[in-house]
Amino acid sequence: MLMKSNSSSASHQFGRREFFKGAATALGAAALTGCSTVRASAKKAKNIVSTGDVVLFQGDSITDAGWDRKQGDVPNKQPGLGHGYAWLAAAELLTDRPNDGLRIFNRGISGNKVFQLADRWQKDCLDLQPNVLSILIGVNDIWHTLNGNYHGTLDIYEHDYNALIERTLKALPDVKLVICEPFVLKFGAVNDKWFPEFNEYRAAARRVATKFNATFIPYQEMFDTAVQYAPSEHWLRDGVHPTTEGASLMAHHWLKAVGEIC
């Protein structure tokens, strides 16, 4: 798709090189981690979303994002998918692959902690028989403990999360798992009291992903990078819940993680 030309571009190329030589010098080996390099390697991610797959998003309010409880059984439509990252990822997948017979559902419920996923797991996960199951859970496990509405611990979180995945694999041994890292930015509802414990919850989610060989999405790293380009309030409403811009970024990185993006 690249344009070709026989004209000489020496002068303007030189000007540009001069102008940006600082940036170019700073790149060095780090540039080798660029996306195009990953694409070119033999290790590029396989796309885990296959033709005909049922894709299920599970989690708390961040996943929920207001999906219409009366329309949740209708796959692929905005009302049943809400207004968050799950919907935006679905919309991008579906407009990319409208003829692939994908069926995408959302069953995130606001306020949920891991044990509450377990309470409704038969109906809201196993019965739907997902081929791809994406879970984002954890922020309430610490938040509701900090505000006195729950008495959770890191061990309970990790134990319950492992038990949930083991139960899932027993029922759906071929399910392709995506585990999303819990994330926050320190403003709004999130203050110093969250740390360093919150980082331990993130690490626990990563251990669960590693243990079960799931695709892991490092959302904390993504948001920490994103604040280089726009302030925290641009990405999250209150330190916890994404704006549409934050949800858009999450959707993009979700697609990247599942191999839809290089």
* Contact positions with a second copy (CB under 8 A) in 97-116: 97-101, 103
Radius of gyration of the chain (CA): 21
CA 214 to chain centre: 13
Q: Which stretch binds a second copy (CB under 8 A): 48-56, 116-124, 185-193, 197-205?
A: 48-56
The answer to whether 106 touches 32, Cβ cutoff 8 Å, is no
166 lies in the binding site for a second copy (CB under 8 A)? no
Q: How far apart are the C-alpha atoms of 122 and 79, rounded to whole Å?
A: 23
Q: 26 or 203, CB closer to a second copy?
A: 26
**Starting from the edge strand earliest in sequence, which strands make up the sheet with 132-136, in order?**
103-106, 54-59, 132-136, 176-180, 215-217
Q: Which stretch binds a second copy (CB under 8 A): 63-71, 155-163, 183-191, 242-250?
A: 242-250
Q: 240 or 255, CB closer to a second copy?
A: 255
Task: Provide the 3-class DSSP secondary structure of residue 135.
Answer: strand
Q: 119 or 224, CB closer to a second copy?
A: 224
The DSSP bridge partners found for residue 217 are 180
Q: Which stretch binds a second copy (CB under 8 A): 61-69, 149-157, 170-178, 194-202?
A: 170-178
Q: How far apart are the C-alpha atoms of 112 and 125, rounded to whole Å?
A: 14
Name the residue with tokens 């390099």. 37
- φ and ψ of 208, to 5 deg: -60, -45
Q: Which stretch binds a second copy (CB under 8 A): 72-80, 110-118, 146-154, 155-163?
A: 72-80
Nearest approach in angstroms of CB 217 to a second copy is: 11
Name which position in 69, 186, 193, 234 contacts a second copy (CB under 8 A). Answer: 234
Q: Which of 107, 61, 53 lies closest to 80 in space, CA to CA?
A: 107
Nearest approach in angstroms of CB 224 to a second copy is: 10
Name which position in 66, 78, 118, 206 contacts a second copy (CB under 8 A). Answer: 78
3 lies in the binding site for a second copy (CB under 8 A)? yes
Nearest approach in angstroms of CB 194 to a second copy is: 23
